Structure 1
Amino acid sequence: MPQQLEVLNALDVAKTQWYHFTAIVVAGMGFFTDAYDIFCISLVTKLLGRIYYHVDGSNRPGTLPPNVAAAINSVAFCGTFSGQLFFGWLGDKMGRKRVYGLTLMIMVVCSVASGLSFGHTSKSVIASLCFFRFWLGFGIGGDYPLSATIMSEYSNKKTRGAFIAAVFAMQGFGILAGGMVAIIISVAFKKQFPAPPYAVDPVASTVRQADYVWRLILMFGALPAMLTYYWRMKMPETARYTALVAKNAQQAASDMSKVLQVELEDEQSKVEQITQAQSNTFGLFSKEFLRRHSLHLLGTSATWMLLDIAYYSQNLFQKDIFSAVGWIPKAATMSALEEVYRISRAQTLIALCGTVPGYWFTVAFIDVIGRFKIQLMGFAMMTIFMLGLAIPYHHWTTSGNHTGFVVMYAFTFFFANFGPNSTTFIVPAEIFPARLRSTCHGISAASGKVGAIIGSMGFLYIAQSQNPAKTDHGYSTGIGVKNSLLVLAGCNLLGLVFTFLVPEAKGKSLEEMSGENEAEAAAAGSYDGKTLNV
């Protein structure tokens, strides 16, 4: 085993300390905000349709046209895709901390701006909403590679997986919070401004004050981000970036001495030796990177993309699936605010029973079972449960067995989160060199957002085009949803196959996984050619 820099070895073997939990909360609140901002839109899209697309004199609730619904649901993902690539690259060029606060401020400003979307016509309001949600997604995108990289570089190797998973698990609380906030706001407005069911009075069922409901729900996402900005700015730069990329061993030792509360030796001369070792200077587009890590990058990118096709389709359109099987009543039987309440309650129940527990099962077991096995199991179980929903779909929709459908549906979320939704976030932060770690994580995450865009737009059009007999929501009740679930099951099966390209990082240091110990060994003249184990 080649000699490790003392400051990095101290991080690898450090016992779990208070700074670990501080880093989890500070980085995790970004993901709480990310999930809230991304998924809260699904709670209010039907309300937007009622408010801005109701046809005067019509006896049907207003619904968003397919192209408008697709734009509202996917525009944030387009911004996230851009942000992941840009901030991933910037995090390697300027340092993780220097751009960390910028992503948070973009999220705060654009959350508020989304709720203040303006215009004199329906089209102008929706256009301004889409504009602000694109830039909201841009800030959210930056949070992915930076949070993952910072947490991986702060962690010890024994519990690194659990710490990174705990950061990502805050996404579950964000989804849960979105549903709870929507419930509270819709109930408050229902009591203050009661309205008859749509079937009784189509016009009065959407009260004028309902326009404030979706705006308040969207703007609430700014609050948790604002509360953690100060603490993000107090975090020191990670020692791995400072020592291995910025080549400043003195600063790295000084920063980590304060964090770990131990005295660390300044090893500037050793860092300079490592810098001179040419085996570790290859770039992202070099033949050496292609030889060492191209299959790893393909594996992390492909599995994340395939997972997100299924995961975001399920999350964004679960309200339509629940309407199709009859768990949520038809829109024509209830007022606009009642519909928001019912949709929010359904999403909150799924998050509470399936989504949140899945994340924390990963936290508990990832450093015991390992990343590879958890991801393989998750893809396999998601495939099984989606087939269990799709193949007997006629039974679920005609037997009135809503409870059975919801239980199986919740299990798909459980195994998504106790599976690839967590591991695809964790692994790219562990297996690439420090100077490319944020960039490669950004590329992997951006591939995931390509999947999210495919899922959010593809599910919508499949559900609308397969059956000409639409529900009052504008979505087919039968073959469209069934075929969508079959397609998603196929995506999960492909994800299982691509998992075999991803190496296991359990119990290994970041330098072992990335091969950076090879450069240290070369600098010491002791590399035996067998250290790199990926």
Structure 2
Amino acid sequence: MSDPKALNVEGEMKTQDVHHRLEVSHISWFHVKAILVAGVGFFTDAYDLCIISIIKPILGILYYPQFNGKLPQAADLWLTGVALAGTLLGQVFFGILGDKLGRKTVYLFTLLLMITATIGQALSAQPLHGVLYLDYVWRIIVGLGCVPAVLTIYLRNKLPETPRFTADVIKDTAKAEQDMDYVTQNVGRDWKQEAVATPMKQQDRITWRKLHHYLTYPDILHNRNIWVLIGTCTTWFLLDIAFYSQILFLPNVLTAINYNPSIKLPNAAWYKANPEQYPDSMFVGRPANVTITIYLGNTPKCVGACAVAVFEKSYKTAAGNAIVAMMGTVPGYWFTIGLVDFMGRVTIQTMGFALMTILLIILASAYNHIVHVSKWLFIVLYALTFFFANFGPNTTTFITPVELFNTKFRSTLHGFSAASGKAGAIVGAFAIGKLFLDTKISLQTTLAILAATNFVGLICTMFIPETKHLPLDVASSQTQSMFAKLLAKRGIRQVDPESVALVADAHGGTNGDVGDGAKPYSEPAAGEPAAAHDSNGLGSV
């Protein structure tokens, strides 16, 4: 009879082999496909959330001509924020499912859910009578968001589950090695034979008890992971307050600086004489005859100069978003791609928060002078805040939760971090959005509040460790944040329970046997291999 302990050791060795092959593997077509699949997910998410800033002016003109195409404040805030509330719930729920069911299954399900919901929006019933071509426009714009997701379903289904999840959580090392051969394009091994020979431990799936231990052992102050989670959650929360409020209410900012001025619709004058024919809010029920009176009755029609004004309003809204994207958001991402492994995640995030703070202080303090000199100067400076958001925390906050947590808990804690971001986006949409819409509160005041928000994000970055050039196993367990280093100087050493458990297994003990002896990871000296420097024996291999 085989020795179970020996079989477990053999299984752990195979798991470490999977990790090592992942670390040293070169770019292959698998990686290209994985990038495309992940990219489509991000594209669809960003498109569905941000396109509302272009849709809202169209909805205002279509549904509220009596207000010169301006949405009532309640309608504006709810249209902006309701999708963000859905994403918050989804990120927590599907993040947990990702650690229980696997990344592949959950990703496919969420793709199908996004496609179904997007089509449902585009085909939703409308309360208007008659043919209104502007109504078609916003539905087409919304519907286009599901096209990339539809095209990527087949590609994602052909990709295997992530080898780390298969090896670390499912404990199927033979399947993980088979998937690794798909990743590295190797062939020629008898996987059926090896599957029989490979010892399998009980699947190590996430439970609330394990998660609690991972975040609290030996106590809150000495636990590394809870403070890292605080860092990823707070920075993402604060970033999204500023980022989403700025991007979702960009049309209001462009109107405030007179780049895209308000329009006057003939229905507004007619409404003053017939106020009973219009509801004050899209959430108030319409009498059965109201829409016929408005659109097929004696109300003025928007033709000629009015139609031109409507077109220019819609065009400038789209153009303003495109200008900011081309000057700020898109270049910012590419700068991060080129420099993230050179500068480091924490450095880029710190720089981004700092420069966004400075730019918003300049815009708030010198608003009148800047707009008087040139509205284009304001647009350029405003676009730079988006540049340093994406060449900064709007990229790094997505990266760090993936690298800083153990495979078993990675999807769940990334989901918690992302949900914190969407909680911030909801605050931005409703609280900061109300400031953007309130004519009694100046734009300068709102920009100053956003500057303060980014400054707090800068401070909270101290809880996030740097992961530049580190193997994922090291980055997720042994890295130290600035906060942890400050505690270490005072004799308080933070530990990762998973690393302590590995050391205990290696010594045949328990967590408590080596808890105080496990040393945190520190940077190797120049030219020294990380594995040789690793005093805990917990290197990537």
Query: What are the superposed Cα offsets for residues 485-521 of structure 1, whole Å, 9 maximum, x if unpaired?
Result: 1010000000000000001111222222333555444
> Is 1:503 the counterpart of 2:465 in the alignment?
yes
Matched residues in 2 for 1:502 and 1:533: separation?
15
The separation in 2 between residues aligned to 1:271 and 1:509, in whole angstroms, is 26
Match of residue 74 from structure 2: 67
> Are 1:287 and 2:216 an aligned pair?
yes
Higher relative contact order (CA 8 A, sep 6+): 1
The CA distance in 1 between the partners of 2:364 and 2:128, in whole Å, is 40
Contact 1:518 1:531 in 2 (8 A): no
Match runs of 1:54-453 below 5 Å: 54-55=65-66, 61-120=68-127, 208-262=132-186, 282-284=210-212, 287-288=216-217, 290=220, 291-332=223-264, 335-397=309-371, 399-453=372-426
Q: State how far apart, in whole Å, the 2-side matches of 1:400 and 1:112 are.
A: 45
Confirm or deny: 8 A CA contact 1:300 1:502 kept in the other structure: yes
Query: Looking at CA atoms only, which structure, 1 or 2, has the larger radius of gyration?
Result: 2
Partners of 1:507 and 1:15 lie apart in 2 by: 15
CA contact (8 A) 1:111 1:218 kept: yes
CA contact (8 A) 1:377 1:419 kept: yes
Report if the CA contact (8 A) 2:92-2:412 is conserved.
yes
Structure 1 residues 25, 243: closer, same or farther in 2, change over 3 A? Answer: same
Contact 1:243 1:271 in 2 (8 A): no
Taking structure 1 as the reference length, the TM-score comes to: 0.75
Q: Does 1:26 align with 2:37?
A: yes
How many residues are matched?
431
Which of 6, 25, 39 aligns to 2:50? It is 39
> What's the CA shift for 1:466?
5.3
SS for the counterpart of 2:210 is coil
Give the Cα–Cα distance (whole angstroms) in 2 for the partners of residues 308 and 103 of structure 1: 22
Q: State the alpha-carbon separation in 1 of the partners of residues 56 and 406 from structure 2.
A: 42
Deviations 1:281-330 (A, max 9, x none): 83246632842311100000000000001100111111111111111233
Could you tell me whether the CA contact under 8 Å between 1:312 and 1:456 is conserved in 2? yes
Cα distance in 2 between the residues matched to 1:268 and 1:75: 51
Counterpart amino acid of residue 210 in structure 2 = F
Q: CA deviation at 1:270?
A: 8.9
Read off the aligned partner of 1:40 and give its amino acid letter. Answer: I
Counterpart code for 1:37: D
Counterpart residue number, 2:476:
514
Q: Using the alignment, how far apart are the partners of 2:350 and 2:199 within structure 1?
A: 38
Deviations 1:335-383 (A, max 9, x none): 3232111110111111011110101111111111111100000000000
Q: Which SS does the other structure have where 1:506 is aligned?
A: coil
Deviates more, 1:385-394 or 1:261-270: 261-270
CA deviation map 1:386-418 (0-9, x unaligned): 111111111133x15012111111110100000
Q: Is the 8 A contact 2:403 2:472 kept in 1?
A: yes
- Contact 2:236/2:418 (<8 A) preserved: yes
Which residues of structure 1 form unaligned runs of 5+?
Answer: 123-205, 468-478
Could you report, residue by residue, the CA deviation over 1:19-70 in whole angstroms, capped at 9, with x for unpaired residues? 2121111111111111111111110101111111222xxxx51321111111
3-state DSSP of counterpart to 2:467? coil
Residue 52 (structure 1) aligned with residue 63 (structure 2): yes
The runs of 5 or more residues in structure 2 that have no matched partner are 1-11, 265-305, 478-497, 509-513, 524-541
The match for 2:442 among 471, 480, 483 is 480
Question: Within 2, Cα distance between the matches of 1:239 and 1:533?
Answer: 27
RMSD of Structure 2 on Structure 1 (CA): 2.8
Identity of aligned residues (%): 41
Aligned residue identity for 2:507: G
